[in-house]
Structure 1
Amino acid sequence: MEDFHWTKLFNPEFYITMEFGGVPVGIYMVLFIVFAETGLFAGFFLPGDSLLFLSGIYSRELVETFFYIPSDFSNVTVLSLLIAAAATLGNIFGYWFGARSGQFLYQKEDSFFFKKKYLQESQVFFERHGGKAIIFARFLPIVRTFVPIIAGIVHMEKTRFMFYNVLSSIMWSFTLVFAGHYLYGFFLDEFDLDLKKHIEKIILILIAVTTFPLVMKAIKSRKKPQSEDAA
């Protein structure tokens, strides 16, 4: 922490390689952040998809905090399951909050950590896709933070919510963690390219890929009123 700078808070590698008193705590930080993205409504601030992808690259180091697993496949599977569990719990907390007191968010003033437009956009997204929105939202920054809250506000059937919640968490964690792990191995074996030395580039690419749908949606929403005015 000697050379700490606040910009590191946006770098997922900072959390993965974090140590406390010389003891690695990366796995705890990863699980907490995954939970916090929906459970504590900090999705726009904390790294999500890039964190999971890099976790796949550092899978052995992360899992060894708990126990050593010789099998490479088992190692990545355990990490994916742990992350899926944290994601599931985060969504449950978001649903509970929405069901109990989510309505107050519509009256809440904007702040650095909260923008009302994110809630409204997530509601439109949920109304358009129904239960499947929980699956789609997992792969969309910001939206995944508020969709569980919307599900709670509209009192979506709990068993239906849990089905999509568990399914989306497993799909999200296994897809990104396995992609990170095996792409790392592929590039290292085939091209002698260590992706750990190109983390910044990987993060930028992942941010561009994951935010592209949101950018396109924003562009379309701006064009739509103009076309209606012209009509």
Structure 2
Amino acid sequence: MELAVNVLDAQSMITAFGLAGILAVIFAETGLLIGFFLPGDSLLFLAGVGASGAAAEVFDRPGFHLSLPALLVGAPLCAIAGAQVGHLLGARLGSKLFARPDSRLFKAEYVAKAETYFTKYGAGKAVVLARFVPIVRTFLNPVAGVLGMRAGAFLLWNVVGGVVWTIGIILLGYRLGDSLKGSIDTYLLPAIALIIALSLLPVLVEVVRSRRAATR
């Protein structure tokens, strides 16, 4: 039996659950460790399109429209709250989270990579940059807690990263939707593919660097 909603498809999620579903996914992807597979970047982009004049055209539902003010307020709040939950879990349960190297969610190597990431960019920059990297933005928050990043400092950079990430991508989708109304179907898939490619670029760069280091 085919599922009515595809949780890996941003458009399917938005069509089925609307604004509430968008906010729930943003919270889960940044705060719940099981949410790392959810489509955060493409979801925010399509949410912005859904608030534009091209909403009904893209989602093929007459009268469909998302509230831009609600998105611009709700998405950052959920992204910030989710990351705070992740940091709190890491700070409170850190030793338990990493007690089993063969855990399905965590491995000891995540801690080592996070330490390298923090050392290379600094704690604040690492928290902000992680927002734009799928999977990393889920796991870095509890890792920051495990590594002892102060709650006040984490909150500050969490707010900066959460606001820039959510509002930036939402407005990008909104502007594209309004400017290409009537012909957006031609550009929508390439735009989403580009966003996904850019978000995965840091991961690919890190993989290449790791392989080169291992070769040396």
| Same-fold status (TM-score > 0.5) | yes
The residue that corresponds to 1:21 in the other structure is none
Between the two proteins, what is the percent identity of the paired residues?
Answer: 31
Partner letter of residue 206 of structure 2? K
Whether contact under 8 Å (1:55, 1:177) holds in the other structure is yes
The residue that corresponds to 1:66 in the other structure is none
Distance 2:187 2:4 in 1: 20
- State the 1:149 CA deviation: 0.8
CA, structure 1 residues 11+203, in 2 after alignment: closer, same or farther (shift >3 Å)? Answer: farther
Residue 224, structure 1, aligned to residue 216, structure 2: no
Q: For the aligned residues, what is the CA RMSD?
A: 2.4
Alignment match of 2:94 (pick from 92, 97, 102): 102
* Residues 193-222 of structure 1 deviation map (CA, whole Å, 9 limit, x = unaligned): 124x76544433322221112112101110
Matches within 5 A, 1:44-59: 44-59=36-51
Distance 1:40 1:120 in 2: 21
The residue that corresponds to 2:173 in the other structure is 180
Unaligned 5+ segments in structure 1 are: 19-24, 62-71
Matches within 5 A, 1:187-206: 187-188=180-181, 192-195=182-185, 199-206=188-195
Count, aligned residues? 201
User: Relative CO higher for 1 or 2, CA cutoff 8 Å, sep ≥ 6?
Assistant: 2
Matches within 5 A, 1:123-202: 123-129=115-121, 130-188=123-181, 192-195=182-185, 199-202=188-191
- State the 1:102 CA deviation: 2.1
The residue that corresponds to 1:89 in the other structure is 81
Distance 2:9 2:111 in 1: 25
Whether contact under 8 Å (1:123, 1:147) holds in the other structure is no
CA, structure 1 residues 17+132, in 2 after alignment: closer, same or farther (shift >3 Å)? Answer: same
Unaligned 5+ segments in structure 2 are: 56-64
The residue that corresponds to 2:59 in the other structure is none
- State the 1:105 CA deviation: 2.6
